[in-house]
Amino acid sequence: MTREHGTGGNGGGAYRERTYSSQDGLALYYRDYGDRLSSATPVLCLAGLTRNCKDFHDLALRLSAGRRVLCPDYRGRGRSQYDRDWRRYVPATYVDDLRHLLAAANVHAVVVVGTSLGGILAAAMAVAMPCAVAGAVLNDIGPDIDPRGMARIIAYIGDDRPQPDWAAAARHLRQTLPDLPVHGEEGWLTFARNTYREGDDGRLHFDWDPALIKPLLRGATTTTGLWPVFRALRGVPVLAVRGAKSDVLGAATFARMAEELPGLARISVPGVGHVPDLAQADTLEAIHALLARA
């Protein structure tokens, strides 16, 4: 079942707010941009491990001028319900949730734009429901994840570190993630508002379930040897984007991806770490080129 909440966002009526039910009964949230009757293949934007649909707002506004764009919050993130069992915070569950999302939205095929974890899920979708994936954008992720980046991510998400106000939250993020392509005080404040939520204690807390870290610590999530999964994307247009300073997608893995996926388009963003901003002019142009082929 899908429930519509109306419209919202900085763009006025730029998107419709909706929820749907997962197979195990969680209420999961997503934003629905653009014309639902457009003949163009819809785009499904999938965020990183701890991120949510807000990260894609600028990109969704640009892409929704000609097509429908769906931006979900995974379970345990943003406005989606938290899972009482941390063991379900794994890719297999997320793929099942996405299957239900496509059914609820009455969408049969999508171009998946996946950042970090979202890129892994794009490949996993191509295995689990190959007819549903018409193309993919893989943002700073590949079949092998650099262990340095994984260690940094685990350290980052493992401690809530509440902040007293938005300015402090922005400063903390700027110090912790200096290689992000975020510019100026307003940019970091926006990023902070996409990262934190106001808690009952009056302080700002990360906008995700702290239990997300448990599958990583228990080894329930694979971070290497995913080449067979990524090969499922053969036969559809794929764009791989890498931050030149990334500690998650190594240069050797990035090069091998071109060998494993014939016709792969690649773009490296200079001066940027994990992850590049897909709404920037150079990456946006490459995404439009991919969409023209999907």
Q: Phi-psi region for residue 25, left (φ > 0), alpha (ψ -120 to 50) or beta?
A: left
Q: For each of the chain's 294 residues, which pLDDT tens digit applies? A: 455 444 554 444 699 999 999 999 999 999 999 999 999 999 999 999 999 999 999 999 999 999 999 999 999 999 999 999 999 999 999 999 999 999 999 999 999 999 999 999 999 999 999 999 999 999 999 999 998 999 899 888 877 889 999 999 999 999 999 999 999 999 999 999 999 999 999 999 999 999 999 999 887 565 667 999 999 999 999 999 999 999 999 999 999 999 999 899 999 999 999 999 999 998 999 999 999 998
Question: How much is the pLDDT for 160?
Answer: 82
Q: What is the pLDDT of residue 219?
A: 72
Task: Look up residue 121 and give its two tokens.
Answer: 């899920």
The DSSP output letter for 130 is G
Specify the pLDDT at position 1. Answer: 45
Q: In degrees, to the nearest 5, what angle opens at C-alpha 74 toward C-alphas 176 and 42?
A: 110
Rounded CA-CA distance 182/193 in Å is 13
Say how many residues make up the chain: 294
Q: According to the model, what pLDDT value does residue 192 have? A: 97
Q: Do 116 and 266 touch, CB atoms closer than 8 A?
A: no
Q: Is the peptide bond before 107 cis (omega within 30 degrees of 0)?
A: no
- Residue 177, strand partner residues: none
- Please report the pLDDT score of residue 7 as a whole number: 54
Please give the domain boundaries of the chain with CATH numbers for all domains: 2-145+222-293 (3.40.50.1820)
For the record, the structure tokens of 178 come out as: 């200096």
Which pTM does this prediction carry? 0.94
